[in-house]
Amino acid sequence: MKTEEEITALSATDKFCFLCSKENRCFNQCCANLNQLLTPYDILRLKNALNMNSGDFLKKYCVQYNGQETGLPVVSLKPDYKNELSCPFVSDSGCKVYKDRPASCRLYPLARMASRNRETGKITEYFALIKEEHCKGFERGKEYTPQDWIKEQGAEEYNRINDEMIEIIGIARGIEPAAFEDSIKKIFAMACYDIDMFKKFISEDDFKNNEIAKSLGYKEEIFKDNETALLLFGLEYIKGVLLRIGKA
């Protein structure tokens, strides 16, 4: 089980050694006592890895609630309450969805924070190393800079798409939570997390004539076989909805 942790800031050029392996005495311990938030791209990858509809995935594996900062829907992974709050995808041999594991699992023990400059749109990254008492991964392994680790773990695409949420959260923080009616929360949750439902939503005539959709150059055929493009469009659509509320 997780115990005490030490968090150390890292620069882009600082190096650390790490190796997660079945040979480590702590193998799988970081998958217990779960408190795992999921990003929109995490959910997209996981539901496809499990060959599931996004709505079914959310019902079976997730908990949805309104975030304290914005009042908008947040999704976390539902732990196995009968087994030390373990991840539902962990097994004795390791992660059953390893190829499509969430970004925070993928980056561990590295923590990445990012901020976007409102004027230039440039993303600035900040890094920290998480050392938990139980973790033996630091006892061996080769050296990595933060970017080396991100590349080796296949996290670049995750970071690129997850960074789109930074602007959304920034906009939402400037709006009173009371301004978000249930209908807005429903659209937000659908566009961010339930991509199969969103795919149906954008095929409706009312959506095709929507001013925000038109301003984004919406064309249904673009998203027919590209769920990543559809997700990015959904996030842009949500930005437009929030900006309109902020000006109201």
What is the value of pTM for the model shown?
0.93
Is the bond leading into 102 cis (omega within 30 degrees of zero)? no
Strand partners, 95: 90
- Tell me the CB-side half-sphere exposure of residue 38, using CA atoms within 13 A: 31
**pLDDT (tens digit per residue) in 141-155:** 999 999 999 999 999
Mean pLDDT of 103-111: 96
Predicted local confidence at residue 236, as pLDDT: 94
Same domain, 134 and 178: no
Q: How far apart are CA 227 and CA 157, in angstroms?
A: 14
Cβ within 8 Å of residue 165, ≥6 positions away:
39, 40, 192, 235
165, 184, 219 - which closes a domain = 165
**pLDDT (tens digit per residue) in 176-207:** 998 999 999 999 999 999 999 999 998 888 88
Burial of 40 (0-12, 13-18, 19+ CB in 10 A): buried
Same domain, 67 and 190: no
- Tell me the CB-side half-sphere exposure of residue 203, using CA atoms within 13 A: 9
Percent of the chain exceeding pLDDT 70 equals 97
Same domain, 75 and 159: yes
132, 165, 198 - which closes a domain = 165
Domain of residue 102 covers: 5-165
Predicted local confidence at residue 1, as pLDDT: 42
Same domain, 149 and 194: no
Predicted local confidence at residue 2, as pLDDT: 45
**pLDDT (tens digit per residue) in 208-242:** 888 998 888 877 777 777 899 999 999 999 999 99
110, 135, 165 - which closes a domain = 165
Q: For the chain, how many structural domains are there in total?
A: 2
Long-range CB pairs of 123-126, under 8 A, 24+ apart, other chains included? 123/163, 123/166, 125/12, 126/9
Instruction: Map tokens 């914005």 to a residue.
Output: 70
Same domain, 230 and 125: no
Same domain, 127 and 186: no
